[in-house]
């Protein structure tokens, strides 16, 4: 098993010096955009599991992002962490808390269908935000500051790589084909022996976990949190990445996450018309490519269970 995962470990280890190097070379502005791309990749890839692969429409991803961000920040502050070697600890705590929130949201709501599910998850996202806003232990309306900035380029992209690889292996394994089947036809999936409820909850929980990790990274990169960054507009932004990438396509949503993070910055020349151009571009892209950039396909031609497996 270790031998099979050696290339992955090598990539993860290589990111460390690469991150340190980039942090020296790049100016802060570009570095920040790069880091935000990494965080958005995690968010888009994890929402893709729920919305794209399993076909459940969640509009509450920002809620899980918020849970992860606040819980991991609180963990670091409470433990007084100062070393970035210990960063995985708050990230895991934040991810687990978000996963539990995902479980708590998923179990009651997943019997709702389509748009009812969408609006219920949106509701949960907003409820989570308002609860945080009223919790003084994490700063409430003032926001939470002084979080040790332990996360940088290396940590963010190590997490992004881990997330994408884990999700890829998950959904393109024979076992994970169940997630796609549920999207295509729930009745037929159950007739194949698939416990559809369990898989939907699983998708929700795993997706929420990674959103929580992304939240932890955000907290430890910016060093300050406010509930205004976790409104439903943030959820909408992540949904747009997934739809634009092509529902179900992991590589597509990575691409879309990168494009949609860079686009507003690249449009700075437009001054106050910047977001107008952004909106027009979004509409134009959807009108010309209604199935998203990748139309549900992957950039890489093979899927580990759809063609002869690499042995």
Partner 1 sequence: MDQLAQQLVNGLAWGSIYALIALGYTMVYGVLRLINFAHGDVYMIGAMSAFYFAHWLGLADAPSLFGFVVVMGLAMLTCALLGALIERAAYRPLRRQPRWAMLTTAIGVSMLLEYGGQALFGPDPKFFPQLIASAPALRLGGAVVTNIDLLIFGVSLALMLGLRWLVYGTRVGMALRAVSVNVDAASLMGINVNTIIAMTFMIGSALAAAAGAMVGLRNPKIEPLMGLMPGIKAFVAAVLGGIGNFPGAVAGGLLMGVTETLVAAYISSTYRDAVAFVILIAVLLVRPAGLFGTVTVEKV
Partner 2 sequence: MAFLELDACTLSFGGLHAVRDVSLAVDSGELVGLIGPNGAGKTTVFNLITGIYAPDRGSITLGGARIDGLPPHRITQRGIARTFQGIRLFANMTAYENVVVGHSPRAGALLDAVLDTPRAADNRARIADECDRLLQLLDLAERRDDPARTLSYGAQRRLEIARALATGPKLLLLDEPAAGTTPHEKVELMARIRWLRDHFGLAILIIEHDMRMIMEMCDRITVLDHGEVIACGPPAAVRSDARVIEAYLGPEQPV
Question: Among partner 2, partner 1, none, what binds residue 265 when CB lies within 5 to 8 Å by partner kind?
Answer: none
Nearest distance from C-beta of residue 33 to partner 2, angstroms = 30
Interface contacts to partner 2, rule CB under 8 A: 1, 4-5, 166, 169-170, 173-178, 180-181, 184-185, 187-196, 202, 296, 304-309, 311
**Rounded Cα distance, 153 and 151, in Å:** 7
Full DSSP string of 227-260: GGGGSHHHHHHHHHHHHHH-TT-HHHHHHHHHHH
**Rounded Cα distance, 246 and 249, in Å:** 6
Residues 258, 263, 267: CA angle, nearest 5 degrees: 160
Nearest distance from C-beta of residue 124 to partner 2, angstroms = 25
Interface contacts to partner 1, rule CB under 8 A: 57, 108-109, 111-113, 115-116, 118-120, 122-124, 126-127, 129-131, 133-134, 141, 187, 232-233, 236, 239-240, 243-244, 247, 272-273, 275-276, 278-280, 282-283, 286-287, 290-292
Nearest distance from C-beta of residue 303 to partner 2, angstroms = 8
For partner 2, the closer CB: 222 or 253: 253
Helices (H), 176-300: 177-184, 186-191, 196-222, 232-245, 250-266, 274-288
For partner 2, the closer CB: 35 or 99: 99
Cβ count near 14 (within 10 Å): 12
Nearest distance from C-beta of residue 125 to partner 1, angstroms = 9
Extract the tokens encoding 289: 């490519």
What b-and-e string marks burial along 56-68, b requiring 16 or more CB atoms within 10 Å of the CB? bbbbbbbbbbbbb
Nearest distance from C-beta of residue 100 to partner 1, angstroms = 18
Question: Among partner 1, partner 2, none, what binds residue 308 when CB lies within 5 to 8 Å by partner kind?
Answer: partner 2
**Rounded Cα distance, 159 and 161, in Å:** 5
Question: Among partner 1, partner 2, none, what binds residue 79 when CB lies within 5 to 8 Å by partner kind?
Answer: none
For partner 1, the closer CB: 20 or 127: 127
Phi, psi of 153, deg, nearest 5: -50, -50
């Amino acid at each position: 098993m270790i031998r099979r995962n050696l290339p992955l470990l090598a990539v993860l280890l290589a990111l460390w010096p690469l991150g340190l190097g980039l942090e020296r070379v790049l100016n802060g502005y570009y570095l920040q955009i790069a880091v935000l791309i990494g965080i958005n990749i995690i968010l888009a890839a994890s929402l893709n599991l729920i919305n794209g692969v399993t076909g459940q429409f969640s509009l509450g991803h920002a809620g899980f992002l918020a849970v992860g961000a606040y819980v991991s920040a609180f963990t670091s502050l409470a433990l007084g962490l100062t070393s970035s070697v210990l960063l995985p600890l708050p990230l895991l705590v934040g991810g687990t808390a978000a996963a539990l929130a995902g479980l708590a949201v998923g179990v009651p709501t997943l019997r709702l269908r389509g748009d009812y599910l969408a609006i219920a998850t949106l509701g949960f996202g907003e409820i989570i935000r308002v609860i945080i806003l009223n919790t003084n232990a994490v700063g409430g309306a003032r926001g939470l500051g002084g979080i040790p900035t332990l996360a940088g380029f290396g940590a963010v992209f190590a997490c992004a790589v881990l997330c994408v690889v884990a999700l890829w292996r998950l959904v393109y394994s024979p076992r994970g084909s169940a997630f796609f089947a549920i999207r295509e036809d729930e009745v037929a999936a159950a007739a194949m022996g698939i416990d559809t409820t369990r898989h939907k909850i699983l998708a929700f929980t795993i997706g929420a976990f990674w959103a929580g990790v992304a939240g932890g990274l955000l907290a430890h990169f910016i060093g300050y949190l406010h509930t205004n960054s976790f409104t439903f507009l943030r959820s909408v932004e992540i949904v747009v990445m997934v739809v634009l990438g092509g529902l179900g396509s992991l590589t597509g949503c990575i691409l879309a996450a990168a494009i949609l993070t860079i686009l507003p910055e690249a449009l700075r020349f437009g001054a106050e018309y910047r977001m107008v151009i952004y909106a027009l571009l979004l509409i134009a892209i959807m009108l010309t490519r209604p199935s998203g950039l990748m139309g549900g396909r992957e950039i890489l031609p093979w899927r580990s269970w759809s063609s002869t497996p690499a042995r």
